[in-house]
Amino acid sequence: YPDLRSDLKRSWPDVESGNDTKFWEGEWNKHGTCSEQTLNQFQYFERSHDMWMSKNITEVLQNASIVPSARQRWKYSDIVAPIKTATGRTPLLRCKPDPTQNKSGPKTQLLHEVVLCF
């Protein structure tokens, strides 16, 4: 499925290790297999890409002037609000500690993942 693979490289890449195939395999094993009653593997990934196209969270955040920045900080609620408005769903934000941060300073988290359930 070269077209779907190309689409997924744009909409759902592995931004940590760069190994998209291994990442997608893990996502299917963790989340997709529970949808096998209604969606086969191809349909699961096709639906994931379609959702990204129709509810592009990066664009939603950019439209709310929330963009990556080394200086600007946002509250959890500042990020949730535009996503909820755009999707009609309350997202779960998964964050990770900033690895460049001084251990003794205030704790800053980096947005790692936005989870939406439909």
> Taking the domains of the chain in order of start, what are their residue ranges?
2-54, 74-115
pLDDT at residue number 71: 85
pLDDT at residue number 83: 97
Cα–Cα distance list, 41 to 32, 48, 69, 74 (Å)? 7, 11, 36, 36
> Which residue, among 67, 48, 71, has the nearest Cα to 58 in the 3D structure?
67
For range 12-37, the mean pLDDT: 90
> Which residue, among 110, 57, 48, has the nearest Cα to 83 in the 3D structure?
57
pLDDT at residue number 35: 85
Q: What is the pTM of this model?
A: 0.76
pLDDT in tens, 33-88: 888 889 999 999 999 999 889 989 999 999 999 998 878 999 999 999 999 999 99
Residue 98: its H or E element:
none
> Which residue, among 76, 106, 109, has the nearest Cα to 93 in the 3D structure?
76
- Please state, in angstroms and rounded to a whole number, the distance separating the CA atoms of residues 57 and 102: 30
Find the Cα–Cα–Cα–Cα dihedral 16, 57, 54, 64, rounded to 10°: -150
For range 10-31, the mean pLDDT: 91
Yes or no: say if 98 and 91 are a contact pair by the CB < 8 Å rule: no
pLDDT at residue number 69: 86
pLDDT in tens, 104-117: 777 888 898 898 87
Yes or no: say if 24 and 41 are a contact pair by the CB < 8 Å rule: no
